[in-house]
């Protein structure tokens, strides 16, 4: 069996999408969810900023747009959020994402943390909090290294 991928690499994203699309608990919580959620990780161990736009249709990830650039990526960090293209965009450092992944920080803690920024309609985000929690739970279960 191959080595587990490191968190926030393209190989991890590939395994994460496969897990989201096959996890029965996530599928129940995602239901008929159809929208895009953008997750951005700043300052990975490779010295990169990574943006992953996950597009869902009927609870399934049907597309992932990955943007990887050398950190700090002014283009990525200054990129305006377009509410017409995504429900939400969450941005945090690699260290913060790792805390979330390891369960050292919960989704609700992250939402109120100055180290985690989420953009989008608060009402729409909160009404879909099960999708965000489910994504976090599935990501934590994917075999990976840090």
List pLDDT tens digits, range 84-114.
999 999 999 999 999 999 999 987 888 788 9
**Closest among 102, 73, 63, 103 to 91, alpha carbons compared:** 73
Total structural domains in the chain? 1
In a domain, residue 59? The reply is yes
pLDDT at 1: 61
Neighbour count for residue 91 (Cβ, 10 Å) = 21
Q: Which domain does 69 fall in, by range? A: 10-137
pLDDT at 112: 85
In a domain, residue 5? The reply is no
CATH number at residue 18: 3.30.1050.10
Residues of the chain falling short of pLDDT 70: 1
For residue 3, whether the previous peptide bond is cis, meaning omega lies within 30 degrees of 0, is no
In a domain, residue 146? The reply is no
pLDDT at 92: 97
> Could you tell me how many helices (H) and strands (E) the chain has, helices first?
7, 5
pLDDT at 114: 92
**Closest among 130, 120, 65, 68 to 89, alpha carbons compared:** 120
Pairing of strands 48-57, 36-42: antiparallel
Residue 32, CA distances (Å) to 35, 57, 79 in order:
10, 7, 29
Judge contact between 126 and 4, C-beta under 8 A: no
Residue 96 tokens, joined: 């913060």
Judge contact between 52 and 64, C-beta under 8 A: yes
């Amino acid at each position: 069996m191959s080595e587990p991928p490191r968190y926030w690499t393209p190989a991890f994203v590939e395994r994460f999408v496969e897990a989201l699309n096959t996890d029965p608990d996530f599928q129940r919580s995602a239901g008929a969810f159809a929208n895009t959620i953008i997750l951005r990780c700043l300052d990975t161990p490779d010295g990169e900023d990574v943006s992953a736009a996950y597009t869902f249709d009927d609870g399934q990830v049907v597309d992932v747009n990955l943007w990887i650039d050398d950190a700090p990526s002014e283009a990525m960090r200054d990129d305006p959020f377009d509410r017409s293209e995504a429900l939400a965009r969450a941005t945090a450092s690699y260290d913060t994402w790792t805390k979330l992944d390891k369960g050292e920080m919960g989704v609700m803690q992250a939402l109120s943390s100055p180290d985690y920024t989420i953009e989008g309609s608060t009402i729409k985000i909160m009404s879909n909090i099960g999708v965000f929690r489910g994504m976090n739970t599935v990501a934590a279960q994917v075999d990976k290294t840090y």
